[in-house]
A and B are shown apart, each in its own frame.
Chain A
Amino acid sequence: MESTIVKSVNYNAYFGDNHVVKDVNIEIPRNTTIAVMGPSGCGKTTFLRGINRMHELIPGATAKGQILLNGEDVMEMHPIFVRLKIGMVFQRPNPFPNLSIYDNVIAGYKLNGIKLPKAEKDTIVEHSLTRVALWNEVKDSLTKKGSFLSGGQQQRLCIARAVAMEPEVLLFDEPTSALDPISTSTVEELFHELKKNYTLIIVTHNMQQAARVSDRTAFFYMGELVEFDDTKTMFTNPKDIRTQNYITGRFS
């Protein structure tokens, strides 16, 4: 298997005339955890949303360049296939409020009209919830609505929902910024587990988090990818002065 799973070639993204991601070239190896950090408005979230073509859902948003998934350009693929292979978890937990916990986990199948035998569904639900360390907490209340859970549990439910589709890549858009510290550390521990099976790309505002959870870190500034290196190297010996200034807290 090829070691690069996601690769961007001269990727540019725009909101109308506003050029928010500029010529990003990056190669992301399989089964690694990538942290994407940078100050607000640096284009990191937009780049992330470009990977599974969520960017284009915003009116006026356009993109140029290539995003390759296993060597195949996602811009040429139907967005639905792209999003089945590249799962996403958002900043705020967003379980479907009309569905039970059980149905939330298999929402990707259920709402897409994919019929599965009951036994298989049960397996997927248990397996996915176990993966996100939520099974023991909710196994007795699977029929309750997803919104009945706490914020941290909801976020793990959303991760389970993405995991249930068995994607190759999981995108996280500041997944812990709406969570309390304890839930945050639970989710961070999850990343270590999930990385065994998936490639994780995590946009984060929090440098400590990037340092804690990732193998490699990408630093975005003003829409450009300034530096992409091993997390350790990046935090101990950054090459670019802008990275250095950001890490040492001279701007944020």
Chain B
Amino acid sequence: MSVAIKYRIGKSTVFQALVMVLSFACVVPLIFILIYILQAGITKINWHFLTNLPKPVGETGGGIANALVGTSIIIATASVIAIPFGILCGIYLSENKNSKLAYWSRLCIDILQGVPSIVIGIVAYFWLVKPLNGFSALSGSVALAIMMLPIVVRSTEETLLLLPDSLREAAYALGMPFHRVILKVIVPCGISGILSGVMLSVARITGETAPLLFTAFGNPYLTTDITKPMQSLPLLIFNYATSPYNDWHDLAWGASCILLIWVLLLNIFTKLITRKWKVQL
């Protein structure tokens, strides 16, 4: 074999090895984070931890029940606000690819996706917290809903664009009106993609802290009133991890672990749904 060919084969082998090593390197940080947080947090999680309120400084034990309930309520409210808007906007964008309005809303959605979360928090503060004279879970939900919106819109749009035009034509040719074409044919055929976008957006906002700092604010007690300040997992982690007390550090580690498990489960669940509900075209 000539030297030139050997040299080319050698280059090819090196390149292949490089691709493999670097793609493995992408996984390493995640594995380290998982191991580290699970090690520190998993021992703190037990029934007592999940069902009790945090204890005042000086008392041992205590749990994060208020943050669990708070996070659930804040995320649920944000979802109720963002999902209908997001899906409808996504439908509009996929059905009217070239209209002026579509162009501008696509642009705005893309920019919105890039707006730092702290800025969205400030906006929610000036829109809701100041006029309503007080921190509230609702204002936090609005901030999170704004963060969810671009993800839901874009994933809905991209899913629906992948559906063949022949599907729409089949529906129109049967005399179906626009709303039925959308609700009975287009959305059901793209449901797995739409849902996975929704779930990923929920996973994305679960850990958001900045927009909640001056909206939901946090609350050491359990509340289900969305017009009142409310605790949430990321806020609890932020406040307790920066405190000087060891007991609070433990709570923060446990909460981090719970947050991580929640996001992990949500991602796995999304994969399952996508596979199960995928419509074979």
Contact = CB atoms under 8 A, between A and B. Distances in A.
Contacts of A162: 173-174
Nearest to A60: B98
Contacts, number: 72
Contact of A161 (B164, B174, B185): B174
Contact of A90 (B169, B184, B279): B169
A52 to B, nearest CB: 7
Contact of B174 (A59, A92, A98, A112): A112
B118 interface: no
Interface string B216-250: 00000000000000000000000000000000000
Contact of B180 (A92, A111, A161): A111
Given A57-B169, A97-B281, A111 B185 contact: yes
Contacts of B281: 97, 147
Q: Which of A94, A112, A158, A161 has the most CB of B within 10 A?
A: A94
Contact of A111 (B98, B169, B184): B184
B174 A94 contact: no
A77 B173 CA distance: 15
Nearest to B167: A94
A94 B164 contact: yes
Interface in A86-134: 87-88, 90, 92, 94-98, 107-108, 111-113
Given A54-B169, A94-B170, A145-B280, A80 B176 contact: yes
A83 B171 CA distance: 10
A98 B175 CA distance: 18
Contact of A97 (B176, B177, B189): B189
Nearest to A95: B170
Given A111-B180, A145-B280, A147-B281, A96 B167 contact: yes
A85 to B, nearest CB: 8
B127 interface: no
Contacts of A97: 167, 189, 279-281
B188 interface: yes
Interface residues of A, number: 30
A59 B96 CA distance: 9
A84 B172 CA distance: 10
Contacts of A147: 280-281
Nearest to B188: A98
B181 to A, nearest CB: 8
A96 B170 contact: yes
B46 interface: no
Contacts of B166: 90, 92, 94
B193 to A, nearest CB: 13
Contacts of B180: 111-113
Nearest to A109: B174
A108 B174 contact: yes
A110 to B, nearest CB: 8
Nearest to A147: B280
Contact of B98 (A57, A59, A96, A145): A59
Nearest to B99: A59
A59 B168 CA distance: 14
Contact of A158 (B170, B175, B177, B279): B170
Nearest to A59: B98
Interface in B143-198: 164, 166-177, 180, 184-185, 188-189
Interface of A: 52, 54, 57, 59, 79-84, 87-88, 90, 92, 94-98, 107-108, 111-113, 145, 147, 158, 161-162, 165
The 3 closest A-B pairs by CB, nearest first: A83-B175, A84-B175, A88-B173
27 contacts: A52-B173, A54-B173, A80-B175, A80-B176, A81-B175, A82-B175, A84-B174, A84-B175, A87-B174, A88-B173, A90-B166, A90-B169, A92-B166, A94-B166, A96-B167, A96-B170, A96-B171, A96-B185, A108-B175, A111-B180, A112-B174, A112-B176, A112-B180, A158-B170, A162-B173, A165-B174, A165-B175
